[in-house]
Structure 1
Amino acid sequence: MIQEFTSILFATNLSEDCAQAYNLALSIATRYRAKIHILHVMDKPAEYTDNFLKGVLGEEKWNEIQQSHADAARSALIGKKPTNKLIQDTLNEFCLELGRECGIEYNHTPPQVLIREGEVVSEILNQARENACDVIIMAGKASRFGHSARIGHTIKEVLRQSKVPVLVVPPAENG
C-alpha cells in the first residue's frame, strides 16, 4: 500500500539547518494536498535549576529577577508585542521566504503554526498525536567539521518514541 499523507508535522528550531527540511515538507504537502503543522517548542529550564536558584536567592528575589529580564528582553526585542506573536510572525516569514526560494506554491490549506513551551521531545510527539499526523519531518544539524550532517539528542528520542514515520532531512550544503 502506498503511503498517503494528509497531515504533516514539521518541527523546527528556526535555524538555517531547517530550510531544506521545510522545502521537503512543503513539497510533500503540495503533492498530497496535506495539511502542514509547523511546530516550534520553547524549552523550559530544568526544574532543578529553578529550585536551586530559588534556594540561593529566595523565591521572591528569583521571580523578580526573572520578570525583570523578561520585561527587558521584551522591550528591547519586540516592544509591547507578545512573545508568541513575535514567534508566530517569525515562523510565518520563515515559511514564506523558504517557499519563495524553492519556487513551491503552497496555495491550499495554510500551514498551522504551533508554538508550545515545554519538553521538546514530548511536545513534538504530543502534537503529532493531537493533529493525527502521518509523518514528522525534522532537520539534521550541519556538522561543524566537514560536510556531514549529524543527528542530535532530540531527533534520536523522537525516532525512538514516535508511532509515525520520522523523516530526518540533512541540511543543504553551503557552497
Structure 2
Amino acid sequence: MLPVKPFRQRTGYCGPASLKMVLDYFGIRKTEKELAVLSGATKKQGVQDGEGLVKAARSLGLKAALKDKATLADIRKYIKQEIPVIVNWFSVNEGHYSVVVDIDKENLYIKDPEWGYTRAMRLDTFMEVWFSIRGNVPSSKEDFNIRRLIAVEPHKPRRGRAKKK
C-alpha cells in the first residue's frame, strides 16, 4: 500500500484535498485552500470536472494526465509505478474524489478525504460507482464522466516515497 498520508477535507473540497494528499506523497506542501484556488473549486460545487485538478497540478510544474473510461488495469499500472491515482466516483448523491493507494484481486483501497482515513471497497462495487455527474441535474450524455482517473507525478519521478524530514 502506498504510504499516502490521509487528509480530511473541508466542505466541498474533496478534489483539492485529494490533490493535496498526492502532492504531500511526493514531498510538495500546499494547503487545501491554495489548491482550491488553483483548481477553481468552490465550497458549494467543489471541482466540477477533473480538468481543474489537472490545471492546478500543471501550474505547480507537475505532470498530470486525465483519462476517461479508464480500467482497473490502468489503476494497477500506476500503483505498480508507485503513483497514487485520483478517481472521481459517485458517493451519496454526488461526485466525489478519492486517492487510490492500493488494489488487489478483490478490493480497491482509497484515502477518502470525506472521512480522513483508508477505506477498502470491493472491486465490483467500485465499478458500479466509478462515474460522476457534472452539475446537479444531467441534461445530456456529456454531463457524465465515466471511469475518470487523474494521475499526477513530478516530471522526474522519485521512485517511491517522499523524503522524510
What interval of TM-score do these two structures reach, taking the shorter chain for normalisation?
under 0.3
Higher Rg of the two aligned structures: 1
Give the number of the structure with larger relative contact order, counting CA–CA contacts within 8 Å between residues 6 or more apart: 1
Which is strand-richer, 1 or 2?
2
Which is helix-richer, 1 or 2?
1
Q: TM-score normalised to the size of structure 2?
A: 0.26
